[in-house]
Structure 1
């Protein structure tokens, strides 16, 4: 019988994969292409969720997803801190918190892998191509619909679990009390991430409508990017990118 890896081991494995992909991108001269892909995706997300970003209740959770999960940021410091305390997360927190951390690490690794693959195809194409067409072709060359579905499913589960945990007042209080010790231990980036997530989902109210809408919209985009004609997909993506608010 094969034993399931511990939460700490799973976290470390996922973050090691992220680090490996970053090193590969540097070695292969892919860093700019990865950044271009992430920038385009962030622009599309801002357009798709403009209404949520302007919604008093939904805006914090939307920004948490866009900034902390899919943002165009260097997460190396947060990842290093996360890996350092993976064992402590498993030992000191409830099982649900440890599983949330595993889901976060898996989402991070899967997103980085898919962006890396997209970037390889993006870089191989004529840079004079319109970004929407270049992205459409790169997406289809990567393929892997199953990985896209998994990415969306893990994010959904993570959102539901975050809301459930925010209702545990002792856990939220304990997190606030960790601020100074976390800063002293050099874990400030991870502390910021955890507090941002808890604050965002605490203000959300009922998360189901929010998460169901994300699932519906992202599923539609996945279907379009895989199944629509190239021209229709390019037109839909170009129109969506043009809708993105500036300065968001």
Structure 2
């Protein structure tokens, strides 16, 4: 498991290096910001509920947004063998899902950014240019896999928050993590645990998100879809 997690980190690092060479990193960040805003619009009813706000923020800010994850990833690559010895398997599985999701999402975002850079250079991202790029790059199997990872991650997180003593373990490890120079990683783990602990029934949050994202994906890939008139994306 530790090696799989490190592999996800190396994959993202390689993609970031390539994006920097292609000079499309600013566009990737703009795309990620647009996607985060779209997610918040699509799931506004969930985002407005107090018990779901931390979980929504965690997905948007820690797994899917334009935040610089380089320090967290460097921390993780350095200490993951030790973490694998002390964290429960379900926690390691959740971490693997999170890093796998991050790597796949960045790869898809990079393809989208390259399309937009070629066809709409220096233009702001809109729901219509986004839908066109989404359909043009294809990769429907990868989009489905992205949703499947979120589903599995939700299952793992639902189990992790029920593990006796896991909250105390994370809390007590904050000072050692700071002394070891891996505070960014600890804060990521702590925010994730607190976010999903606050929900109660994790599936009540995850399932509506999955259903809506699946429906949106299928609508965007519908062969008879006519853009821009039938664009299923919300106004952002």
How far did residue 241 of structure 1 move?
Answer: 2.9
Contact map agreement 1:34 1:119 (CA 8 A) in 2: yes
Among 170, 191, 197, the residue aligned to 1:196: 191
**What CA distance in whole angstroms lies between the structure 1 residues aligned with 2:55 and 2:125?**
32
1:40 aligns with 2:37: no
Structure 1, unmatched stretches of 5+, are 1-6, 243-248
Q: 1:169 aligns with which of 156, 164, 175?
A: 164
Worse-matched range after superposition: 95-104 or 180-189: 95-104
* Deviation by residue 1:108-131 (Cα, 9 ceiling, x = unmatched): 110110011111101001345762
TM-superposition CA deviations, 1:116-167 (whole Å, max 9, x none): 1111101001345762221112111221111111111111111221121111
Q: Which residue of 2 aligns with 1:185?
A: 180
Aligned to 1:84: 78
2:200 to 178, 182, 205: 205
Q: Deviations over 1:221-245 (max 9, x none)?
A: 11122113222443x32xx234xxx
Matches within 5 A, 1:1-12: 7-12=1-6
CA distance in 2, matches of 1:129, 1:12: 35
Change (3 A) 1:24 1:233: farther
Task: From the superposition, tell whether residues 130 and 94 of structure 1 become closer, same or farther in structure 2 (CA, over 3 Å).
Answer: closer
Which residue in 1 is equivalent to 2:148?
Answer: 153
* Partner Cα distance (2:203, 2:25) in 1: 36
User: Is 1:230 aligned to residue 227 of structure 2?
Assistant: yes
C-alpha displacement at 1:88, in angstroms? 1.5
TM-score, normalisation: structure 1: 0.89
TM-score (norm 2): 0.93
Unaligned 5+ runs, structure 2: none
Q: Do structure 1's residue 94 and structure 2's residue 104 form an aligned pair?
A: no
Partner residue in 1 for 2:136: 141
